[in-house]
Amino acid sequence: MQHVFVTGAAGFIGSSLVDRLLADGATVTGWDNLSTGQLRFLEGAQRHPRFRLVRGDNLDQPALTAAMKGADFVFHLAANADIRDGWKHPERDLQQNTIATFHVLEAMRANGVKRIAFSSTGSVYGEALVTPDKPTPENDVFPIQTSLYGASKTAGEGLLAAYAEGAQIDEAYIFRFVSILGERYTHGHVFDFYQQLVAHPDHLRVLGNGTQRKSYLYVQDCLDAMLHVTRAGTARTAKHHTQIYNLGTPEFVQVNDSIRFICGALGLQPRLEYTGGDRGWIGDNPFIFLDTKKIQATGWKPKLTIEQGIVRTLRWLEANRWVYEARH
């Protein structure tokens, strides 16, 4: 069984992946700088003999290279996900998403690790969407970036591809996520709305006008997809050693739908206060809706609808209010 190196191992998706990999028999080295990750997410993993957590930062190339020794697959999930405040700290996306990815790839070269999966984002499509009501396929037009986050992830994708097409690594899997939710979810609109409704159940402040359309994917469906594709090894046999997959559900909702699901599950009828405008913040893409035919053609499909995913997220937040205090 293989030895998997997971960056961002204490994060929402990373820790969920660690648990899945351990359950499937893999040896796992988790790597995290604990800047936003939660050690509590790894409590189960830490009791497992096949798990080891190394605390370190992707910008520390020697430590990263040393920690990766012996691995034969890398899941590179560590990232700066603070999309909204990009302009307060414009260097963060560059450092934590672009330069960090370069360090991961160089650590792989140094250790002879040949396979990697990378969590990218639907934000890489910027606003190049020619037909904005149609889901965006992987081979859409060359986009114009609209956010530092999208630009930094596009840059990370480019690095993976250059390493794979330049024969420095054998298999590069790039997954462009919609928003992911589910157990251990610690930021995003469900997180914020629930926090507000605990504080003041009678009203809810909504960024934008509520008609922003978004697509969400449940975290275990996301993990199913990544594990399915990387185990099938599609990049081994394809013309390109870089394989790019959109990851999402074939449906979307409006923020207003999501509010309805949340309030229904909580039994609340708050007064809604909209800040207005067709996007929540500068650089927010009013509509991320990905064409997932390519990944579905591999045999994967999501088990939960967006509504089911939102309700599970809410139930987890209700049972784990500690994450609101633990948050940085």
Closer to a second copy by CB, 27 or 145: give it. Answer: 145
Give the footprint of a second copy on residues 81-120 (CB under 8 A). 86-87, 90-91, 94, 98-99, 102, 106, 109
The answer to whether residues 228 and 298 touch, using CB atoms and an 8 Å cutoff, is yes
How many residues are recorded in the chain? 328
Using the rule CB under 8 A, is 282 a contact of a second copy?
A: yes
Using the rule CB under 8 A, is 234 a contact of a second copy?
A: no
Chain-centre distance for alpha carbon 164: 22
- Among 147, 215, 246, 258, indicate the residue that binds a second copy (CB under 8 A): 147
Q: How many residues bind a second copy (CB under 8 A)?
A: 45
Tokens 């784990």 — which residue? Answer: 320
What whole-number distance in Å separates Cα of residue 214 and Cα of residue 223? 20
Using the rule CB under 8 A, is 247 a contact of a second copy?
A: no
- Among 46, 112, 144, 272, indicate the residue that binds a second copy (CB under 8 A): 144
Chain-centre distance for alpha carbon 102: 18
- Among 157, 171, 183, 221, indicate the residue that binds a second copy (CB under 8 A): 157
Residue 171 DSSP SS3 = strand
Which range touches a second copy (CB under 8 A), out of 33-41, 52-60, 132-140, 179-187? Answer: 132-140
CB of 99 to a second copy, least distance (A): 7
CB of 276 to a second copy, least distance (A): 18
Angle between helices 255-266 and 306-319 (to 10 degrees): 50
Helix (H) or strand (E) holding 121: strand 115-121
For CA atoms 194, 81, 180, 53, give the dihedral sign: negative
**How big is the chain by its Cα radius of gyration, in Å?**
19
CB of 48 to a second copy, least distance (A): 35
Where do contacts with a second copy occur on this chain (CB under 8 A)?
86-87, 90-91, 94, 98-99, 102, 106, 109, 124-128, 138-148, 150-152, 154-155, 157-159, 161-162, 165-168, 240, 242, 244, 282-283
